[in-house]
Structure 1
Amino acid sequence: MGNDLTLPNWLRTIGDQPHGAHRRALADEHGELTFAELVAAMDATAAALRESGAEPGDRIVTAMEPSIPHTVAILGALAAGMVAAPLNVRLTAPEARAYLSALEPAALLADPTYAQLARDTGYRVLELPAANQPGPVAERLAPLQHPGGDRTSPDEDAFAIVFGTGGTTGSPKGAVHTHRSLWLWLNTCAHGNPRVPSDVELFFSPFFHITLGTNLLTPLFAGGEAWIHRRFDPAAALAAIDQGASRLMGAPTMFAALRARPEYATTRRENVTAIRFGSAPSTGDFVRDLLRDFPNARIRAGFGATEFGSVMGFDHDDLLAGRFAGVGRPLPGATVRILDADGREAAPGVVGDLVVSCPWQTHGYYGLPEETAATFQADGVHIGDLASRSEDGWVTIAGRRKEMIISGGENVYPREVEEVVLRHPDVADAIVYGMPDERWGERVEASVVAVAGRTVEPAALREYCRAELAGYKIPKTVRVIAAVPLTANNKPDRRRARADALGQS
């Protein structure tokens, strides 16, 4: 098998030994697998892909719901030396065709839920008709199973998996990992979030998001267990916690949805030992609620991007010390620089361009050499984020350069404004954007979601902001909306929020 750093080889070291037959790796609503069964299914899928005519290096796109068969399909592609590419199934067919044009896939693997989307892309489709039904994994993956085929070991420097970017500043692009960079990323995640053998990860994210790596592949990498839900459902998530799920990851809105359920008060939340929330702006109240409601959980927050995975974070002890804002410090192995307009290190507290380099970063955008050259530069990865750093190295994200608002010649960073707006007790969620203005060029506006049972008074909110923001940063208009619009990759969609606001003007 060799010593190459690849996820398939790593999983085989667990599944091929006696303990692999006695350790559960995955469960979903229709079945479960031990590590021995997972590795056997992975290798049978790899053999079936080769038998189908696909060759090493070919891109194998998956258009499926989160499930055991979807996990095995991705691992099988990796084991066959092919390049797995989970498709953002929230894209329309024209959007999917545009994204896939750079990947030129050899085949799309589709379950019944997304078979039509797959067919509409115009590429070859292999359908797995029983993927979403109860039964043995071989039946759920049929016809993509060939037990007893020759086992292959991919080269660690070959391309392994492609994740689509969020498309917040343009069309999605496919950031590609080699087997080695994927292994190093999962290893970083495993060390940054230690676990014990009895831990169970509750996973309910779409597979096209990098949480596939941080919250599904990482537990498997660490020899742990993950329970897969097709989507986030608060009632199902609370039931899983009652049954022993001990590790959670989600956005603040997810935890608010859990808290709103009547069974929340009686759920055995003491089962939860680890919580990780993403880099979306959060408030002290949100963190204090987590600390109170999950008394046995170590709580962490992190920052990452599709192009380089997890690179910064802060830990439970930081939260206990009252440090809630920002994204924390660089992880060991990650180099984070903040550069001024002249390309020099920005002074503490000064906003500049965020540049990241780490051994586990992706190797560019598949099939897009010009975009790759613009982002993956000699000094690191430039994703267009703006940030500042304190004297002691604590990093705060100001926003994306393309989202920066220039009002009367002054730079306004939407995220800074959002963090203040979110601290208002009547505001549950918020998004800030720029609007055209004849006098100022652009003006700051905000759309907010009210806390259930409360009302947001725009004038009162603007007055609240005055204590913490300069006048030119205070939203000139505040709109109350039902929900913050999201991109297909579940990120706040400022372009759509701005378009909606323009439509109401």
Structure 2
Amino acid sequence: MTITIDQALKWHATYNPRRLAVQDDHKKESYAELWQRSVQLVLAMKAAGVKKNDKISVLLPNCAQFIEIYHAAALYGIAVVPINFRLAPREAQYIIEHSESKLLFYYSDFSDLVKEINIKDTPVAFIKIGPGREDDDEYNDFIGKYDDKGFDGDSDGDRYDVPFYQGYTSGTTGTPKGCVNPLGPFSEQLTRIIGTYRFESSDRQLMPAPLFHEAPALFSLAQIFAGGSLLLTKDPAPENIAEIINKQSPTNIFMVPTMWETLTISPEVDRVKSKTLRLLVSGGSALLTHTRDKLFKAFPDADVNEFYGGTEVGLVSNITKDEMLRNYRSVGRPVFGKYIKIIGEDGEEVTPGEVGEIYMAGQLMLREYYKNPEATAKARLGEWLTLGDLGSIDDDGYLYIVDRKKDMIISGGENIFPAEIENVISKMPEVFMCAVVGQPDPRWGEVVTAYVVPAPGAHISKEEVQRFCAQELANFKIPKEVYFKRELPMSAFGKILRRELRQ
């Protein structure tokens, strides 16, 4: 029997009612309060005409209301559709319309964006949330009319396959696809995270990564599932992170690689008192070697972990600090319940060490891409599923990510993987961030092109980058062109948008 998200909350609210469940930049909520407000939200949505199996969209930064909405959705049997608040109005509108959402919960700071969203075919009720500004908050009025007394939290029937999370891919490879994750598999991922990272009720997790992405949502909800305390912030600036660590004493932190890099190069890292920190987790994209080494130095007593996974599959592999030192550039071995194999271009499984497309099986999360059976079928190979990433496995079962299949550069018949070159360039102390793409070339088909953001105050030339690469890379992998930028196009989850660079 799978214990679901709402059932875990009910247990903690019953037996640990006064324990801190969630704290954001404005308020704190105990487990009893989180349960009460989640129930009130269920009753309010029911009165507003939302039915079981419907979808609701969420346009919020990290806040306690986001956690309430996730638990209310699990209680009622509806799906949450998180929206990246950095999207353009037409992009946000596409997700709301495509998902057929019945409600939109949005943050008052995003009112200008919401004003430009014009839903024509399906009526959508907009509910504004204004933390810290009661006169600008419709959400409290929306749920405040209802009482949680007498509500037992039990829904009708088996809810294992009821859609719970419908996250949209970032669009790095084209039009976003809605990944439908049922409640049962989603809840099972929480127990897998708890087991992998040893979450306990005494833990205090700091979460600056945005909850509209699934990995931060999974890690946050896993901490609640385990009965611990969740410290949310919508401000990932190093100054704020350092202050929260020093004042709130978190035991574990999840951030994406660009957030870790920004923290480790900031002078703020030197004033962090990390006596309580036992676990630092990175995911969402590759953790570059120089960032990893800075984390080891800045937080010597914490275990640094990196995982590989995705919205469709959840947590797939993980590697600890000790394993990182023995297995250079690996993202670890499969976590319990997951299986990995590498398929070559001929459709057959390759031998250890050979590069091919990564396929995963076991307890996955994707039921379907919403209203896109072609994409669903393309991603599956029987019980196996791929995200389109390329990699290899060694004799001990450690997975190495080479790159995304669509990002691979073919120059003069040679396969070139941008991540390998980016890892070399990023070792230069003058480099803050870089990205490598293939640009069309009449002779070679494609040529390697690097985009570099210099470190603050640093000066660097194209020739210096090329000479540095020549020390570690074959000649055909050395960038033919190097462009210097103030910033690179990024998704909200810290992924560089190579597609925009190619364009």
Q: Same fold (TM over 0.5)?
A: yes
Match of 1:502 in 2: none
What is the aligned partner in structure 1 of residue 313 from structure 2?
Answer: 308
CA distance in 1, matches of 2:60, 2:172: 23
The farther-off stretch of 199-208 and 258-267 is 258-267
Q: Secondary structure at the match of 1:99?
A: helix
Alignment of 1:78-157 (within 5 A): 78-118=74-114, 120-122=117-119, 124-133=123-132, 141-145=140-144, 146-148=146-148, 150-154=151-155, 155-157=159-161
Counterpart residue type for residue 276 of structure 1? V
- Closer/same/farther in 2, CA of residues 128 and 100 from structure 1, 3 Å limit: closer
Residue 175 of structure 2 is aligned with which of 171, 176, 185? 171
Deviations 1:215-261 (A, max 9, x none): 31111011111111123122111110001123122234323433454
For residue 198 of structure 1, the aligned residue among 195, 202, 208 is 202
Matched, 1:245 2:240: no
Residue pair 1:274, 1:297 contacting (<8 A) in 2 also: yes
Deviations 1:287-313 (A, max 9, x none): 232222213211111111111111012
The DSSP-based 3-state class of the residue aligned with 1:240 is: helix
Q: Aligned partners of 2:139 and 2:46: how far apart in 1?
A: 19
Q: Note the alpha carbon deviations across 1:75-128, whole angstroms, 9 max, x for none.
A: 212211111111122221211232333311122122312344345141544444
- In structure 2, relative to structure 1, the CA distance for the partners of 1:130 and 1:441 (3 Å cut) is closer
SS in 2 for 1:461: helix
Aligned to 2:416: 412
* CA–CA separation in structure 2 for the residues paired with 1:151 and 1:84: 22
3-state SS, counterpart of residue 143 of structure 2: coil
CA separation in 2, counterparts of 1:374 and 1:203?
34
Q: Given the superposition, is the C-alpha separation of residues 377 and 96 from structure 1 closer, same or farther in structure 2, using an over 3 Å criterion?
A: farther
Greater mean deviation of Cα atoms: 255-264 or 399-408 = 255-264
Structure 2 SS opposite 1:65: coil
The answer to whether the 8 A contact 2:312-2:364 is kept is no
Residues 377 and 218 (structure 1 numbering): CA distance in 2 closer, same or farther, change over 3 Å?
Answer: same
Decide whether the 8 Å contact of 1:110 with 1:125 is kept in 2. Answer: no
Q: Give the conservation status (yes or no) of the 8 Å contact 2:104–2:127.
A: no
Q: What's the offset of the Cα at 1:129? A: 4.2
Deviations 1:152-198 (A, max 9, x none): 43412211111111211011111111111011111111111113433
TM-score by length of 1: 0.92
| Residues 252 and 111 of structure 1, relative CA distance in 2, 3 Å threshold | closer
Matched, 1:28 2:24: yes
Deviation at 1:140, TM superposition (A): 5.4
SS in structure 2 opposite 1:57? Answer: coil
SS across alignment from 1:270 = coil
Contact 1:27–1:228 at 8 Å: present in 2 too? yes
Which contiguous aligned blocks of 4+ residues in structure 1 show a shift greater than 6 angstroms?
Answer: none
CA 1:25 to 1:469, structure 2 compared with 1: closer, same or farther past 3 Å? same
Which stretches in structure 1 are left out of the alignment for 5+ residues?
Answer: 500-505
Q: Compare 98-107 and 176-185 and name the one that shifted more.
A: 98-107
Percent of aligned pairs with the same amino acid: 28
Q: Deviations over 1:318-348 (max 9, x none)?
A: 13x3534131211121111100112111122
The reply to whether residue 186 of structure 1 matches residue 190 of structure 2 is yes
Deviation per residue, 1:378-416 (Å, 9 max, x gap): 131122111112222222112111111111121111112
1:268 maps to what in 2?
A: 273
**Residues 261 and 385 of structure 1, relative CA distance in 2, 3 Å threshold:** closer
Q: 1:259, 1:315 → 2: CA distance? A: 19
- Distance in 2 (CA, whole Å) between partners of 1:144 and 1:289 is 46
2:301 pairs with one of 296, 299, 305: 296
In structure 2, the gaps of 5 or more residues are none
Which residue of the other structure, out of 135, 151, 165, is the alignment partner of 1:161?
165
Q: Is the 8 A contact 1:61 1:85 kept in 2?
A: yes
Counterpart AA for 1:298 = D
The letter of the residue matching 2:400 is T
Q: Using a 3 Å threshold, how does the CA distance of structure 1 residues 129 and 170 change in structure 2: closer, same or farther?
A: closer
Matching residue's letter, 2:258 = T
1:76 corresponds to which of 54, 64, 72: 72
Residue 39 of structure 1 corresponds to which residue in structure 2?
35
Q: Which amino acid aligns with 1:166?
A: S
Looking at structure 1, the residues matched to 2 and 265 of structure 2 have their Cα atoms a distance apart, in angstroms, of 47
For 2:90 and 2:260, locate their aligned partners in 1 and report how far apart those are by CA, in whole Å.
Answer: 34
* Equivalent position amino acid for 2:106 in 1: A
Task: Assess, with a 3 A threshold, how the Cα gap between structure 1 residues 53 and 281 changes in structure 2: closer, same or farther.
Answer: closer
Q: CA RMSD in A?
A: 2.2
Measure, in 2, the Cα distance between the counterparts of 1:401 and 1:139: 45
SS of 1:479's partner is: strand
User: CA separation in 1, counterparts of 2:25 and 2:359?
Assistant: 42
Distance in structure 1 (CA, Å) of the matches to 2:414 and 2:222: 43
- Matched residues in 1 for 2:456 and 2:274: separation? 23
For 2:286 and 2:459, locate their aligned partners in 1 and report how far apart those are by CA, in whole Å: 21
Q: Deviations over 1:391-445 (max 9, x none)?
A: 2222211211111111112111111221222223332221010101111111011
The structure-2 alpha-carbon separation of the partners of 1:150 and 1:182, relative to structure 1 and needing over 3 Å to count, comes to same
Partner Cα distance (1:56, 1:343) in 2: 41
The verdict on how the C-alpha distance between 1:53 and 1:282 changes in structure 2, with shifts beyond 3 A counting, is closer
Distance 1:301 1:97 in 2: 34
> Counterpart in 2 of 1:8?
6
Which of the numbers 444, 452, 458 marks the counterpart of 1:454? 458
* Letter in structure 2 aligned against 1:447: Y
Distance 1:426 1:167, change over 3 A: same
Q: What is the number of equivalent residue pairs in this alignment?
A: 493
Deviates more, 1:443-452 or 1:453-462: 453-462
What amino acid is the match of 2:473?
A: L
Q: Evaluate the alpha carbon distance shift between residue 489 and residue 253 of structure 1 in structure 2; reply closer, same or farther with a 3 A threshold.
A: closer
Look up the equivalent residue of 1:258 and give its one-letter code: L
TM-score by length of 2: 0.92
1:296 is matched by which residue type in structure 2?
D
SS of 2:368 mapped into structure 1: coil
Matched, 1:443 2:439: no
CA contact (8 A) 1:282 1:422 kept: no
